[in-house]
Structures are given as structure tokens and as C-alpha cells.
A and B are shown apart, each in its own frame.
Chain A
Amino acid sequence: SQQGEEDPQALSIQEGENATMNCSYKTSINNLQWYRQNSGRGLVHLILIRSNEREKHSGRLRVTLDTSKKSSSLLITASRAADTASYFCATDEKAGTYKYIFGTGTRLKVLA
């Protein structure tokens, strides 16, 4: 498996429900970022969490990071149809190689 694997691969929920996506990674990291991609478009940065942080909030987004388990979760509260997109986590390698590794993403569908 590759660095930055999201789970589940696809998620379908009703508008107003919460959506939780998970990301696992392999190596030690400096930070982890979440991005969103609307179908066929470029990615948009959502939030960054550093390795010494455990939780971070931005609007309806909540990100947690557990470095002991090498995992992160993205929670979108009170989801809207406009949240329908693919969500990717991206991790750097602590070795400082400047490489950023993106996972395969979670496809979220929010039904109105």
C-alpha cells in the first residue's frame, strides 16, 4: 500500500449528516494536508495539521492526527450537496525530501 491511503474509497450520505474520512500513512511526517477535488478539476487545499498537533478546526472541518497510529481523519459536519467531491490527504516525508505523497482519495457524495 502507498503512503497516504484514504478510507473509505467512496462514501454516500444524506445532506445534513456528518462525513468522516480516514487517512493512513507509513513514514514519519512533518505535517499532513487535506485537499478537495471537484470532478476533473484541480485540487483545493483545505487544511494543514502539523505533526505536533492533534486536532485542528476550520469552519465545518475537523482534522485529527494520531502520529502513533500514523493516521488522520477528516470530519465534515452538517454536509451539503456542494461538499460532493473527492478528498485527498497528502503527506511529506520527514527526511526532508520535499516530496509530497497524495493518497488515492475518498469520493464523497452528498445526497440532497
Chain B
Amino acid sequence: DSGVTQTPKHLITATGQRVTLRCSPRSGDLSVYWYQQSLDQGLQFLIQYYNGEERAKGNILERFSAQQFPDLHSELNLSSLELGDSALYFCASSVDGTSDDTQYFGPGTRLTVL
């Protein structure tokens, strides 16, 4: 158990809908990352937050948004969902978000868009 929690574990929804994925980092970690992993694909970095502020942005679609709250939990909002958004979404956390920091991954949320 990494100490990172993600809810829900599974999510099934229809095209055009909007969903929110939630992540609670390890106690003491200030940085949160979001990744998307499609079938047989590597991890695509979406976005990173550090202590409530956006720090780095990757291949995140405009239909997606995220935020990190004062209690350091984070939410990833996915809207106008398309079939291609079906994937595993991982959240990771690290102590200070620097590049030599170990990232601890949550168990993921499996999103299925029908």
C-alpha cells in the first residue's frame, strides 16, 4: 500500500458526460501528479500540482481540468467524455515534486466511457 488513495476505483459513464476523480496524497507529500494510461500504452503525464499551485502541464486536453485543494487532496475533472477517454487514471504523490523525488502511485481509477 503506497499511502495514496484514489476514488472511485471504477467508473462507467456515457459519452458527453462529466466525471470527477479524487486523489488523496500520502501524508506529508505536497505534490500530486495525474497520469493517463490507455490500453497497452505507457503513462501519459497530464499535470502536476505542488502545494495547491499548478507546477507542470503535460498532454492534458482542454476538456480536462484539475486542482489541488488546501488540504492537498486533488481532483481531476473530465468533461464531454469521448470513447477514447476510457483509460486507467493514476494519481501519484511525492514529497516536494522535484525530479529526483520518488513518486508514490495510487491504485488508479478505471474509467470506461460507453
Contacts of A104 in B (CB 8 A): 41-42
The one of B98, B100, B108 in contact with A42, judged by C-beta atoms closer than 8 angstroms, is: B108
Contacts of A43 in B (CB 8 A): 43, 90, 92, 103, 105
Asked if A60 CB lies within 8 Å of chain B CBs, one says no
Given A42-B106, A43-B90, decide whether A50 and B100 contact each other with a Cβ distance below 8 A: yes
Contact (Cβ within 8 A) B55 A98: yes
Complex Cα distance, B45 from A97, in Å, reads 12
Contact residues, B88-113 vs A (CB, 8 A): 88, 90, 92, 97-100, 102-108, 110
Given A42-B106, A45-B102, decide whether A99 and B4 contact each other with a Cβ distance below 8 A: no
Contact (Cβ within 8 A) A42 B90: yes
Contact (Cβ within 8 A) B100 A45: no
Contacts of B43 in A (CB 8 A): 43, 88, 102
Contact (Cβ within 8 A) A31 B99: yes
Question: From B43, which residue of chain A is reached at the shortest CB distance?
Answer: A102
Contact (Cβ within 8 A) A42 B107: yes
Asked if A48 CB lies within 8 Å of chain B CBs, one says yes
Contact (Cβ within 8 A) B99 A102: no
Contacts of B41 in A (CB 8 A): 104
Complex Cα distance, B42 from A30, in Å, reads 21
Contacts of B110 in A (CB 8 A): 40
Complex Cα distance, B20 from A57, in Å, reads 40
Given A42-B4, A43-B90, A48-B102, decide whether A100 and B45 contact each other with a Cβ distance below 8 A: yes
Q: How far is the CB of A105 from chain B (nearest CB, A)?
A: 6
Complex Cα distance, B44 from A98, in Å, reads 14
- List residues of B whose CB falls within 8 A of some A CB: 2, 4, 33, 35, 41-45, 48, 55-56, 58, 88, 90, 92, 97-100, 102-108, 110
